[in-house]
Amino acid sequence: AVCEGNARELGDAAVWKFAGLLPMLDPPREDTPATIESLHHANISVKMITGDHANVGKETSRLIGLGTNVLPGEEMRNAPSETKNDIIWNADGFAAVLPSDKREIVLVLRNHFGLVTGMTGDGVNDAAALSAAQVGIAVAGATDAAKNAADLILTEEGLSPIYGAVLESRRIFARIKAYVVYRVAASIILVLTLSIVIFVTSCAVDSLMIIILALLNDVSMIPVAYDNAKATTKPQLPVAKTLVLQSLFYGLVQAGLSLMFIFSMANNRDERFAIDLNGPNNEGCTGEARGFIWFHLVMVTELMIFSVRAPRFVLLSPPPSMYLAGSVLLTLILGGLIAGFLQTWTVPGGDIGWIILFNIASFLVVDLMKLQFRKMIGEEPGDVILSDDLLTPTTRTETQKTVEKGERYRTHRESIVSVADRNHVVEVKSKSGLPAFFSLGGETMMDNGYVNVRKGVAGLAASSVVPSGTRRTKQVSSPY
């Protein structure tokens, strides 16, 4: 509008004439649609929460590739409690919200639906929601209040670093998971195989060589920390039950195959390759048999890491790092040399060849069985994300967005961790010996797991008595 004359002097008498509209545009960053596309591909749903008008929120949501089911915050606040959670679950975003609305949305997704929830923000009004989320992310240029409440602080403009953080975290978890499953499975293989062979035939591998075998396993697995792990489209869950089941699968199957191989070689009609598990006059197995069993266990445990780490069939999965492959290869060569040239063993080359052939064949068979077992226990990792680059966004109709959203939500439901696995509560009880052990001159001692100041022997005796009905618990921090 334009005023004829000096508007300051005319005051209320000033006459304004409409001249036109001056539109203002605050478009999203160029990389935001690609970031949303990439996060969706990784089965991470995104909801937009803004203080702008609902129409502005719908248009912004459309521009960045989200659905346009953006609801006013007032509609959520006025919704009945029995339907509010479903409204939050189904909405693509919320507009004209209050700071308390943001926190409520985060808590509903986290506590009611059991989802791992992240929140991005930059202002003071985002601090409560950032603190409530499992992963609070303060964007570049955020206020100090937002940074203090957040778990991650982005130093680069835009949201694309979040996608890189997701991929790297999944790679780290894949390495940890592979080592945990491998370590437990290898122990099961060694214990079962050696124990059953001893009980059945009295053939005992030298204790020193078993220690060396365990040492070789540990040293050769150090490069797992630098393995060429790949992120997958389906989140991997830190559920102890599935980790134990996978370890049992590898341990029991490989131990069974190992026992079958060892006893079949003991009964081999071809004396050139037969091993003697009983020895002359049943006085114990020969050194050749002990070396045969030892090198077989070295090979079966070393090769197993390649199956455990592979999200798909090992020949179709990304190759391991050169450090891990080289470490395993050197260990196998060293094990073969020890078995073949140790004076008390001297395993023939033909037997070493049979061990190599059997282990390669059993390795491939077990790896194929692994795929079906993971599917049976709900541990399918999904497709491998081969590149860290952002995906190119594609234009979709609202129907297509809704269908893809439903598929992601189905993955979310499959990935929900139970309350028992999310909440780890440790009960600390007073023990009569514990306060005395931690007492310092009778003045400072432990009472029910907490440090209390008491004096004298009477205080020590009193601290070791738990009143009936008293129970103190501590909540241990958890990623959920």
Least confident of 110-114, 253-257, 267-271, 439-443: 439-443
Please give the DSSP secondary-structure letter assigned to residue 471.
Answer: -
Amino acid letter for position 88: I
Relative to beta strand 135-138, strand 152-153 is parallel
Does position 150 have pLDDT exceeding 80, yes or no? yes
Q: Find the angle CA(62)-CA(63)-CA(65) to the nearest 5 degrees.
A: 65
Task: Please tell me whether residue 451 adopts helix, strand or coil conformation.
Answer: strand
Closest CA to 150 of 140, 160, 158: 140
Closest residue by Cα to residue 154 from 144, 141, 145, 163? 141
Q: Kindly give the pairing relationship between strand 135-138 and strand 118-121.
A: parallel
Report yes or no: 146 and 121 within 8 Å, Cβ to Cβ.
yes
Q: What is the pLDDT of residue 278?
A: 74
What 3-state DSSP class applies to 25? coil
- Measured at the CA of 408, the angle between CA 405 and CA 414, to 5 degrees, comes to 145
Neighbours of 58 (CB within 10 A): 21
Which runs of consecutive H residues, i.e. helices, occur in 377-417?
398-414
Taking all residues of the chain, what is their mean pLDDT, rounded to a whole number? 85
Q: How far is residue 446's CA from residue 434's CA, in Å, rounded to a whole number?
A: 7
Arithmetic mean of pLDDT, 328-345: 92
The 3-state DSSP class for residue 474 equals strand
Task: Please choose, from the candidates 368, 211, 374, 206, the residue with its C-alpha nearest in 3D space to the C-alpha of residue 290.
Answer: 206
Note whether 90 and 115 are within 8 A (CB). Answer: no
Question: Between 266 and 463, where is the model more confident?
Answer: 266
pLDDT digit string, tens, across residues 361-374: 999 999 999 999 99
Say if residues 335 and 351 touch (Cβ distance below 8 Å): no
Over range 399-406, report the average pLDDT: 93
The average pLDDT across 96-112 equals 93
pLDDT for residue 67? 92
Asked if 233 and 42 touch (Cβ cutoff 8 Å), the reply is yes
User: What pLDDT is stored for residue 25 in this prediction?
Assistant: 77
Long-range contacts of 400-407 (CB under 8 A, 24+ apart): 401/65, 401/66, 401/67, 402/67, 404/40, 405/45, 405/67, 405/92
Burial 454-466 (b: 16+ CB within 10 A, else e): beeeebbeebbee
- Per-residue pLDDT of 292-312, as tens digits, reads 999 999 999 999 999 999 999
Whole-model pTM?
A: 0.79
Kindly report each contact of residues 205-213 with a partner whose C-beta sits within 8 Å and lies 24 or more positions away, as own/partner. 205/290, 205/293, 205/294, 206/290, 206/344, 209/290, 209/294, 210/294, 212/338, 213/294, 213/297, 213/298, 213/301
Q: What confidence score (pLDDT) does residue 423 get?
A: 65
**Would the pLDDT of 217 be above 80?**
yes
Tell me 13's DSSP state.
G
Radius of gyration of the chain from its Cα atoms, rounded to whole angstroms: 32
Q: What percent of the chain has pLDDT over 90?
A: 61
Cβ count near 414 (within 10 Å): 13
CA distance 344 to 252: 30
Q: Which of 93, 95, 178, 101 is nearest to 132 (CA)?
A: 101
Mean pLDDT to the nearest integer, 436-464: 43
Give the range among 21-25, 122-126, 449-453 with minimum mean pLDDT: 449-453
Instruction: Report the DSSP beta bridge partners of residue 445.
Output: 452
How far is the C-alpha of 358 from the C-alpha of 331, rounded, in Å?
Answer: 18
pLDDT digits (tens, 9 = 90+) for 175-184: 999 999 999 9
**Chain CA centroid to CA 18, Å:** 61
User: How far is the C-alpha of 189 from the C-alpha of 214, rounded, in Å?
Assistant: 12
Q: Is 25 exposed, middle or buried (0-12, 13-18, 19+ CB in 10 A)?
A: exposed
The pLDDT of 57-76, averaged and rounded, is 93
Quote the pLDDT of residue 421.
67
Q: What is the band of 21 on the pLDDT scale with cuts at 50, 70, 90?
A: confident
Q: What is the pLDDT of residue 271?
A: 66
- The residues, any chain, with a CB within 8 Å of residue 154's CB and separated by 6 or more, are 137, 138, 139, 140, 161, 162
CB within 8 Å of 167: residues ≥ 6 apart: 42, 231, 385, 388
